[in-house]
Amino acid sequence: MTWVVGNNIDPKRDTVFVEGPVDILDHAAPILGYGSKFGIDATRKWPSEGFEREWPGAIVMDEKTKNYIDSIWKNLGI
């Protein structure tokens, strides 16, 4: 879920870049067989990781909103 990744990470703490061997079919690599990877940790954080605040629950739409969106979905053009 893009929302989870966008809202549940601290870029400094939860991302990592590494360089090294990559699949030879990775056409984005600057050198055949060697490139970089980007890791994102969007999991719930624990006090042992230095996170002291309460972790928020997932946002859930109420039935009225779900029914409304369902009724207009085909008109949205997405």
Does this model's pTM top 0.85? My answer is no
List the domain boundaries for the chain.
Answer: 2-75
Evaluate the CA torsion angle 18, 22, 27, 32 in order and state its sign.
positive
pLDDT of residue 39: 94
Q: Compute the distance between CA of residue 2 and CA of residue 7 in angstroms, rounded to an integer.
A: 9
pLDDT of residue 32: 94
Name residues whose C-beta falls within 8 Å of residue 14's C-beta, 6 or more positions apart in sequence. 8, 40, 41, 42
CA distances from 39 to 18, 19, 20 (A): 8, 11, 14
The pLDDT tens digits for 29-72 are 999 999 999 999 988 888 998 888 888 888 889 999 999 999 99
